[in-house]
Chains A and B, each alone.
Chain A
Amino acid sequence: MTPPALVLASLLIPALGTVFVLLLRKNPNAREAASLVTAGVLFGTVLRVYRAVMAGDRPAIVLAEPIPGIPIELEAEPLGVLFALIASFLWIVTTLYAIGYMRGHHEENQTRFYTFFAFAIASVMGVAFAGNLFTLFIFYEVLSLSTFPLVTHAGTEAAKRAGRIYLGVLFSTSIVFQLLAIIWTYAIAGTLDFTSGGILSGRAAAGVVPILLGLFVFGVGKAAVMPFHRWLPAAMVAPTPVSALLHAVAVVKAGVFSILKITVYIFGIDFLTQVGASVWLMWVAAATIILGSLVAFTKDNLKARLAYSTVSQLSYIVLGAMLANASGIIGGGMHIAMHAFGKITLFFCAGAIMVVAHKTEISQLKGLGRTMPVTFFAFFIGTLSIVGLPPAGGSWSKWFLGMGALEAGQVGLVAVLMLSSLLSLAYLMEIPLKGFFYAPDEAPHHEGVHEAPTPSLIAIVATAVACLILFVFPEPFYELMTLVVTP
């Protein structure tokens, strides 16, 4: 296949996957096998796109032209490839995990689950390979819609309410702020194409840029910048694989990825630094980082704590984008990868604990580490990566973000980064500590409780090991990000 066809294929493969899943709904084993195979083929395809892009190619393909001059266009560039690589790889792992989880948890409507899951991945690929702002917006909205049935999977009253918050926040921010900003950009620049160096430089008045950038940052509700973060904790009613892949990786990363892409290819980092338009948003991101960590402290529910941790960590990436210098962008991009592997490990562990031991609150975890040592050790590694300690991959992205803050002359932000690392260390380390070093409250009622189902356990180990590998081998992501900042 030619590279443009590969890009298109990476959208079509998961879309086709939905068809297979639907056709094989009568036979769960075949259905799950279809999911796994689709995920594997997708990763292979994205890898080939990656090779093409590293060879200097920028494959592009126009699908349709809804409005004259504004086509729906796919184009693979380094940042998008980075995101697509992570999402497609983790989809394999998550599918593996989901097989164990969904069966272990006796969930209903599993076919619907796998169908919309594959569909959501297709829209994630659309977001990753969007060739212009308009295409990005379309797939962004399709992603919101396709994940709605996953969030409300349980069908309970609580799920319905959470679904309302989810769709409400994501739609209102994207329609009121983001769409306005897109049309405004079009009115100013006459184009929406992602162009290195940006399209606004020399066209937009200096006074307008901070407002426009603000509309984008808040308009991309999936980036969960406070005060538009409420949907993320609400989405935690979903089954854990959904929380893990979509609300730690695919959906939220689609948000911060959009912000990075808009910063680099619409505004252009030189233009932003020159106008100084992003300074106020750095502090919004910094506030979200600290507040998110503080709220995470107050949560006893494990998934809720992880959700607020995600809110806080996402703003690292937003901050990286707003720093608008090479180190900041590199740090932001790498944090997409590092946080993805770290947080998905944590969610996998949380899900395993829930399925096997039926525990959802942190205070109930005392001594559980002795019966589930692998799970809790994986959680420990994930924590290291999130906090940014060696020997886990997260330390690299934190390093570049800190460098970026120093280069931008914002010493205060370096302090914020340090403080929040400490905070996250405190609120996450509590879990493995409780698991390993506290005695169980009551007589050992963990009888019959052992490790998670085998497919899930493989997934947990895989992502935890990946966190460690990324410490010694972060080059692929680093190289992609340097391509982004050096056109």
Chain B
Amino acid sequence: MSEHYVILLVLVPLLASPLCIFSRNARAAWGFAVLACLTSLYLVFQVWAEVMATGPITYHIGDWAPPVGIEYRVDAVNAWVLLIVAVIGSVVAPYARVSVEREVEAGRIPLFYAAFLLCFTGLLGITVTGDVFNVFVFLEVSSLSAYGLIALGQDRRALTSAFRYLIMGSVGATFIVIGIGLMYVMTGSLNMADLAQLLPQVWDTRTIKVAYGFLAVGVFLKLALFPLHLWLPNAYTFAPSAVTAFIAATATKVAVYMLLRFFFTVFGAPFSFDVMRLDMVLLPLALVAIVTMSLVAIFQVNVKRLLAYSSVAQIGYMILGISFASVTGLTAALLHLFNHALMKGALFMCMGCVMYRIGSVHIDAMAGLGKRMPLTMAAFVVAGLSLVGVPLTVGFISKWYLILGALERGWWPVAILVLITSLMALVYVWRVVEVAYFQEFPHDEDTQEAPWALLIPMWALVLANVWFGIDARTTVASAEQAAQTLMGGAP
């Protein structure tokens, strides 16, 4: 049985999704969603433990041997990303019930959970597969359901932002297909391990370089790398709170994983960094993203939008780590993948609580909330400090490795820039804190603390922020092993 875990972790949420639709009942659909997420989490955890203990696992779908058949292959890298997605999914799903009841029309709730599970399936599928075309299919599964989820937001602007995301996301996905097609033309293979063997013989052809370019742009669009991030702020702002928490913590992370998988495993680090000079593309884009997006975030009045811009900046940190092209840099990027999921998940969940009680996430509406919703705002402070990178939170661990990586390369101006932008994060987090704690609550009516159903999952993430900030041995070991796998070339 346990050898099938790799496929089951994708199949369970996929099959649970129609159950949600057929149940036609909000509570039942939610039950299926939570059950499916937790089952997946259990399977992912088993797979992760096995990979960490004994090395990569492969699974041949329908017992067709690769490279003809589709192969699922889990090594230290995707085991790590699977864990991120499954953990966040399993925290957001229980959180969703109360939040979604408030923000989504009753009749659409079963559909919401169906789309949620499909999105979850797609993200897990992208991560688990060892076949490049399969990546595209799962990418579209997750993206199409994400468009639907975003469009369920209360504000009508959710519709237009979902549409814009659809156009840009489809273009990105199509670019990825073009890149895959060109690789196939040159090698006749779609299997990642096989491609890694075959590609070095055709490195110097123009076709492969063009394929590389298409893949790069497609993936950059998906992970919202500056300046291809325009779809992100609106989509995050107007989506239902639970969706924002889920997508912000997972979708861009999986896109970063795609980047790592394509450029380190399939093409190999030597081709990416010695032939294509990927680092010289990533480094300036990452720096510009970090600085400009942090600046933009400072001036936002809608806190969800503020956090969305901060996400674009934080993605810049991950890309920055990748651009160092070293084990330390990659460790930083992979750590931040996990750590950013924890902090942004928690922060967007706070916004969900605020939305639940006062129906707005405008910064002025949050005046005095520190007294009215102490647990929610305390969570915001802790997760916000984690975003800044204060010691004893996970954000600090990421920053530590990122700066260590920069200093190893001798890029000390980059290290200074990272530190200065942490201060910018402090400014935008502090703006919210000041409003919440130093201004008086304007309304007369009693605004109370958010319900426990929202607080418990949120605080689980917040405490994870602190726990993995105080004892990061597990996370650092996993990220380091993954980084070494990536730098070592073929899986």
Contact = CB atoms under 8 A, between A and B. Distances in A.
A137 B392 CA distance: 11
B472 interface: yes
A358 B397 CA distance: 49
B163 to A, nearest CB: 41
B471 interface: yes
B423 A66 contact: no
Contacts of B422: 175
Interface residues of A, number: 25
Contact of A183 (B391, B403, B423, B472): B403
A176 B472 contact: no
Interface string A165-201: 0010001100110011001101100000000000000
A183 B400 contact: yes
A208 to B, nearest CB: 10
A64 B404 CA distance: 21
B415 interface: yes
Contacts of A72: 470
B407 A184 contact: yes
Given A68-B477, A186-B404, A175 B471 contact: no
B407 A66 contact: no
B101 interface: no
Contacts of A469: none
A187 B396 CA distance: 16
Contacts of B438: 152, 155, 160
A141 B390 contact: yes
Contacts of B430: 167
Contacts of B396: 66
A187 B407 contact: yes
Interface of A: 64-68, 72, 137-138, 141-142, 145, 152, 155, 160, 167, 171-172, 175-176, 179-180, 183-184, 186-187
Given A68-B473, A176-B419, A138 B392 contact: yes
A65 B469 CA distance: 10
A179 B477 contact: no
Contacts of B476: 67-68
Given A175-B423, A176-B419, A180-B416, A66 B477 contact: no
Contacts of A167: 430
Given A68-B476, A175-B419, A183-B407, 14 more contacts: A65-B471, A65-B473, A68-B472, A72-B470, A138-B392, A160-B438, A172-B423, A175-B389, A176-B420, A179-B403, A180-B419, A183-B400, A183-B404, A186-B404
Nearest to B422: A175
B interface: dominant SS = helix
A179 B391 CA distance: 10
A104 to B, nearest CB: 27
Contacts, number: 65
B404 A187 contact: yes
B434 interface: yes
B204 interface: no
Contacts of A179: 399, 403, 419
A160 B434 contact: yes
Listed from nearest, the 3 A-B pairs whose CB atoms lie closest are A138-B391, A187-B407, A176-B419
A155 to B, nearest CB: 7
Contacts of A184: 407, 412, 415
Interface string B53-84: 00000000000000000000000000000000
B470 A187 contact: no
A64 B400 contact: no
A140 B412 CA distance: 24
A137 B396 CA distance: 12
B464 interface: no
A67 B390 contact: no
B426 interface: yes
A180 B420 CA distance: 11
Contacts of A171: 423, 426
B155 interface: no
A137 B399 CA distance: 14
A160 B438 CA distance: 8
A172 B423 CA distance: 6
Contacts of A172: 423
18 contacts: A65-B471, A66-B392, A68-B473, A72-B470, A137-B391, A141-B390, A152-B438, A155-B438, A167-B430, A179-B399, A179-B403, A180-B403, A180-B415, A180-B416, A180-B419, A187-B404, A187-B407, A187-B408
A64 B415 contact: no
Contacts of B389: 175
A220 to B, nearest CB: 15
Interface string B397-438: 101100110011000100110011011001000100010001
